[in-house]
Amino acid sequence: MKEFELIRQIQQATSVCYSAGFEHGVKLGIGDDAAVLEVPAGQHLVAATDTLNAGTHFPLDTSPFDIAYKSLAVNLSDLAAMGATPRWALLSLSLPGAEREWVRSFAEGFVSLAQVHNVTLVGGDTTSGAMSISITALGFVEPGRQLTRSGAKPGDLVVVSGTIGGAAFALEKLLAGKPSEERYLLDRPIPRLSLGQALSGYASACIDISDGLLADLGHVLKASGCGARLNIEELPHTEELAGLEDESRWRYQLTGGDDYELLFTLPHGHSEQLAVWSQQLGIKLSVIGELEKNQGIRCFREDGTGYSPQGTGFEHFRQKR
């Protein structure tokens, strides 16, 4: 297939997302040099971009459907962490070859998630090279309603959605050649958009967990200028993780990446909201700790004894020794 055929195939396969056309504010989409988009009056544009490289961000045996699904999901997760509502996406594809069947399955994976969240593909770029997928997600937030990393205060609760550590454990099993019943956690993370939007106006800070709990909580603490104590026995885990020894499980939960759950801080006064959101949105929410003035993260067991985790999370440019 030639480049223009590939683009046309993607355009046709994703055109279902256009069904609402005008309401989606797309004045010009795929086919011109750039898209022209109408941001609704009284809203601010929120933009996020994330790249997934084959072998680094997804195992080489991942299906094209899941590669697309995950590429979009991680970008929508960034919008979720901001409390934003997604609307458009741009897709930059680098592929070693242009195979019709591969593109068909990829587009299907993209559309399956895009439709759920009303996201329209409005453009992109296509090149040949090592497999790499870069998506830019665009959405809206009402002025001043965005969630940030910097508003957390000592005394606020530390809360996490869903379960954590499951994706990292599934990946490790996979790399060791063992099957995992929870591989779907790795391939199809759930962007917590409804939760992010609900948190707007309540949470003092929010981030999505992509690189590991300690690393991402660390970003919030640094931006907010405070520290935290965590009760590691409150960390929510998956069924597969339940079978591990405590310390091994905690390692996946504290330092494993790829969960794409939301980690947020909540002033005590709003704590009664947790049960309401959990019930309304059908998302498990766990209070795992509290913020403190003291910088840094301190981990404790239920009985109050301290625990020192090793490592902090995923880092692309590790310092060579």
Grouping H, G, I as helix, E, B as strand and the rest as coil, residue 119 is coil
**Smallest Cα–Cα separation from 117: which of 69, 185, 183?**
69
Give, in order, the Cα–Cα distances in Å from 204 to each of 127, 145, 295: 41, 11, 17
Note whether 125 binds ligand ADP by CB under 6 A. Answer: yes
What is the closest distance, in whole angstroms, from the C-beta atom of residue 247 to ligand ADP in the complex? 44
Give me the 62-101 binding string for ligand ADP, x by CB under 6 A, dash otherwise. Answer: -----------------------------x-x--------
Give, in order, the Cα–Cα distances in Å from 316 to each of 208, 212, 221, 319: 17, 13, 21, 9
Question: How many chain residues interact with Mg ion (CB under 5 A)?
Answer: 1
List CB contacts of 198: < 8 A, sequence separation 6 or more. 277, 280, 281
Note whether 32 binds ligand ADP by CB under 6 A. Answer: yes
Question: Quick one: which of 5, 23, 38, 125 contacts Mg ion (CB under 5 A)?
Answer: 125
Of 29-37, 173-181, 274-282, 307-315, the segment contacting ligand ADP by CB under 6 A is: 29-37
Kindly identify the residues of this chain, within the stretch 1-20, that bind ligand ADP according to CB under 6 A: 7, 10
Which of Mg ion, ligand ADP, none has residue 124 at its interface (CB below 5 to 8 Å by kind)?
A: ligand ADP
Give the whole-angstrom CA distance, residue 213 versus residue 209: 6
List CB contacts of 96: < 8 A, sequence separation 6 or more. 128, 129, 130, 131
Give the whole-angstrom CA distance, residue 191 versus residue 72: 9
Note whether 52 binds ligand ADP by CB under 6 A. Answer: no
**Smallest Cα–Cα separation from 82: which of 157, 146, 24?**
146
Note whether 247 binds Mg ion by CB under 5 A. Answer: no
Of 122-130, 213-221, 233-241, 285-293, the segment contacting ligand ADP by CB under 6 A is: 122-130
What is the closest distance, in whole angstroms, from the C-beta atom of residue 36 to ligand ADP in the complex? 11
Residue whose CB is less far from ligand ADP, 101 or 245: 101
Tokens of 33: 């040099």
130 φ/ψ angles, rounded to the nearest 5 degrees: -60, 150
Residue whose CB is less far from ligand ADP, 105 or 180: 105
What is the contact surface with ligand ADP in residues (CB under 6 A)?
7, 10, 30-33, 91, 93, 121, 123-126
Binding site for Mg ion (CB under 5 A): 125
